[in-house]
């Protein structure tokens, strides 16, 4: 079948092997039903003959069907490079921190203080008050709203990703429903500390469980594709996004943390007044209520940055890295953020100097990515005259904001006090 030639070339480019005939039939049947995903609105068919457009790497595949070494397992090499870069950054930072003489005077200036000093007096005073509230664990209302907002963004991503899958299983509705419930619970938690404990906490826990279940279903979905885990690169790239359910769990994690905090108006003398239940008086809950969970939050930043970076690799590789500089930036920033957050676990100095700077870089990169994704939707055929279709099958609009949320998590970790 002449129409299978581009699919053969595409599969050889990903794996270096010619797929079985049965796999080609499944892929061909899927390609006939599902619109091709494009990242910047350009048509995916060549003019004149209607054949799928091939990227540079696919076009360079030899005519005999063999894949050159430069085109084999590119996603695997990129993923290993990102992880290796994160490990090297972590090791280098720890070596630099250990090399600091023990007799040196303590560092009194940091990135946060430098930013505060550069602000006008009015804004500087407000920033100092906000930082004090954060370090005291008195930002329950704010974090509840943040958790609710991020839940809406993540829920929108899940909704149209599962729409592409035609909601083939009823379990695909659960994150959509829970995202709306978590958003409502976040608003309620911002209005009432009691609602934060009685409503936001159980819904956050339920959402975390649902994210773990979703991760299992995504792993199973990859295993059920032709070739299963014997073709990991092809099936991970063409199957369901493997870490997307865990990335959705970041919103639930923030909601769970917010349920243990104190509202902004709480006084220092009554900092444990919110712990009314017997199981709320554990050491961990007291540490969170008093703002002492920097190491814990730094570890969560490492996980969130890894999930976000892998999802960026998954999405941008499927697009062929058409904008190499912009689309490669999250793959560079994510391992650096992982390294800075990992270095902040043993070192308070790294948490107060390096982590906030890298976190702000990740947030800026996510904002730039959001602009590119919105532009990609508007450049698709029909533009905003067909908003539903172009948002469904264009670049994931809110995915860069979820990457920026990883930077926000790191910035929040840099402002916390450390566990005893």
Structure tokens at 170: 């009823």
With a cut of 50, say whether residue 305 has pLDDT above it. yes
Answer for the pair 140, 189: CB distance below 8 angstroms, yes or no: yes
Task: Kindly tell me the sign of the dihedral angle through the C-alpha atoms of 212, 213, 214, 217.
Answer: positive
Distance CA 183, CA 144 (A): 9
Task: Return the higher-pLDDT residue of 28 and 197.
Answer: 197
Q: How many CA atoms lie within 13 A of 51 on its CB side?
A: 14
pLDDT at 82: 54
Query: What tens digit of pLDDT does each residue of 378-396 get?
Result: 998 888 888 888 888 888 8
Average pLDDT rounded to a whole number, residues 334-358: 94
Length of the chain: 420
Query: What tens digit of pLDDT does each residue of 250-276 get?
Result: 999 999 999 999 887 776 544 454 444
pLDDT at 117: 65
Radius of gyration of the chain (CA): 24
Query: What tens digit of pLDDT does each residue of 85-111 get?
Result: 555 555 554 544 444 433 333 333 355
With a cut of 60, say whether residue 222 has pLDDT above it. yes
Give the residue among 298, 328, 301 at the shortest CA–CA distance from 78. Answer: 328
Query: Distance of alpha carbon 377 from its chain centroid, rounded?
Result: 20
Task: Return the higher-pLDDT residue of 142 and 392.
Answer: 142
pLDDT at 84: 57
Query: What tens digit of pLDDT does each residue of 228-238 get?
Result: 899 888 888 88
pLDDT at 14: 43
Query: What tens digit of pLDDT does each residue of 70-90 get?
Result: 444 454 545 555 555 555 555
With a cut of 50, say whether residue 30 has pLDDT above it. no
What is the pTM for the complete model shown?
0.69
pLDDT at 220: 92
Angle 294-248-409 from CA coordinates, rounded to 5°:
25
Mean per-residue pLDDT over the chain, rounded = 75
pLDDT at 166: 83
pLDDT grade for 43, boundaries at 50, 70 and 90: very low
Task: Return the higher-pLDDT residue of 416 and 56.
Answer: 416
pLDDT at 285: 77
């Amino acid at each position: 079948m002449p129409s299978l030639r581009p699919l053969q070339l595409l599969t050889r480019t990903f794996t270096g092997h010619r797929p079985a005939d049965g796999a080609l039939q499944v892929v061909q049947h899927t390609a006939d039903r599902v619109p091709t995903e494009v990242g910047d609105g350009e048509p995916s068919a060549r003019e004149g003959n209607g054949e799928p457009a091939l990227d540079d790497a696919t076009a360079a595949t030899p005519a005999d069907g063999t894949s050159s070494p430069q085109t084999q397992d590119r996603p695997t090499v990129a993923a290993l490079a990102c992880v290796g870069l994160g490990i090297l950054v972590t090791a280098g930072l720890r070596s630099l921190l250990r090399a600091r003489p023990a007799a040196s005077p303590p560092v009194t200036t940091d990135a946060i203080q430098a930013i505060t000093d550069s602000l006008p007096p009015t804004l500087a005073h407000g920033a100092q008050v906000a930082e004090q509230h954060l370090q005291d664990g008195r930002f329950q209302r704010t974090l509840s709203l943040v958790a609710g907002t991020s839940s809406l963004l993540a829920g929108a991503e899940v909704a149209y990703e599962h729409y592409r899958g035609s909601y083939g299983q009823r379990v695909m509705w659960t994150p959509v429903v829970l995202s709306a419930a978590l958003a409502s619970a976040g608003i309620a938690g911002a209005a009432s500390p009691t609602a934060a404990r009685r409503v936001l906490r159980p819904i956050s826990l339920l959402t975390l469980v649902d994210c773990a279940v979703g991760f299992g279903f995504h792993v199973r979905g990859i295993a059920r594709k032709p070739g299963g885990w014997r073709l990991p690169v092809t099936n991970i790239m063409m199957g369901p996004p493997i870490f997307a359910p865990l990335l959705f769990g970041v919103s639930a994690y923030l909601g769970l943390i917010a349920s243990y905090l104190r509202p902004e108006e709480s006084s220092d003398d009554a900092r444990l007044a919110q712990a009314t239940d017997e199981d709320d008086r554990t050491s961990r809950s007291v540490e969170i209520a008093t703002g002492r969970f920097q190491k814990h939050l730094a570890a969560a930043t490492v996980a969130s940055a890894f999930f976000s970076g892998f999802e960026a690799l998954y999405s941008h590789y499927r697009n062929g890295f058409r904008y190499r500089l912009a689309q490669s930036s999250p793959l560079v920033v994510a391992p650096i953020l992982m390294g800075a957050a990992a270095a902040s676990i043993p070192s308070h100095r790294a948490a107060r100097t390096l982590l906030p700077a890298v976190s702000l870089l990740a947030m800026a990169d996510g904002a730039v990515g959001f602009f590119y994704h919105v532009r990609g939707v508007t450049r698709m055929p029909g533009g905003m005259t067909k908003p539903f279709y172009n948002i469904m099958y264009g670049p994931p609009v809110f995915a860069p904001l979820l990457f920026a949320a990883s930077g926000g998590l790191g910035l929040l970790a840099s402002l916390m006090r450390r566990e005893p």
